[in-house]
Structure 1
Amino acid sequence: MKLKFYIFLFLLSSSIFAQQKQVETSIDTTKNKIGAEFKLTLKTVVSSKSKVVFPKLKTIGQLEVIQSYPIDTVKKNDTYELIKKYGLTQFDSGKYTIPSIKILIDKKPFLTDSIRVEVASVKVDTLQQKMYDIKDITAVDNGIGDWWKYVLGLIIILGIGAFVYWFVKKRQQKKIEEEVYKTPIEKATSLLNNLEQKELVQKGEIKEYYSELTDIARNYIEEAIHIPAMESTTSELIQAIRTASTKKKMTLTPETVENLERVLRQADLVKFAKSKPLDFEITDDRNKIQKVILTLDNAIPTEVPAEEEDQLLNEAQRQKQIKQQLLKKRNKRIAIAVGTVLFLLIATTAFFIVTKGFKFVKDNLIGHPTKELLEGQWVKSEYGNPGVLIETPKVLKRMDTQKVLPKETMALIKEMQLFSYGSMIDNFYITVSTSKFKNPVELDLAKTLEGTLKIIEAQGGQNIIVKQEDFQTNEGVQGLKGYGTMSILNPVDKTSTKAYYEILLFKQDQGLQQIMILHEEGDTYGNDIATRILNSVELRKASN
Structure 2
Amino acid sequence: MFACNQKSKEVQKYNMKKHLYLLLLLLSTAVFAQQKQVVTSIDTIKNKIGAEFKLSIKTTVDSSSRVLFPKSRNFGALEVIQSYPVDTVKIDGRYELTKRYGLTQFDSGRYVIPRFKIFINNQAFLTDSLLVEVANVQVDTLKQKMYDIKDIAPAEETMGNWWKYVLAILLLSGIAVLIYWFLKKRQEKKLQEEVFKTPIEKATTLLDTLERKELWQKGEVKAYYSELTDIARNYIEEAIEIPAMESTTSELIQGLRAASVKKKMTLSQEIIENLERVLKQADLVKFAKSKPLDFEITEDRNKIQKVILTLDKSIPVEVPLEEELLLNEAQKQKQIELQLRKQRKKSIQTAIVSVVLLVTAVTAYFIATRGFDFVKDNIMGHPTKELLEGEWVKSEYGNPGIIIETPKVLKRVDLTKTLPKNGMALIKEMQSFGYGSIVDRFYLMVSTLKYKAETQIDLAKSMDGALQSLEAQGAQNMIVKQEEFETPEGVKGLKAYGTFSQLDSQNKTTARMYYEALLFSQEGGLQQILIFHEEGDSYGNEISERVLNTVELK
Category of TM-score, reference length = shorter chain: 0.3 to 0.5
TM-score by length of 2: 0.39
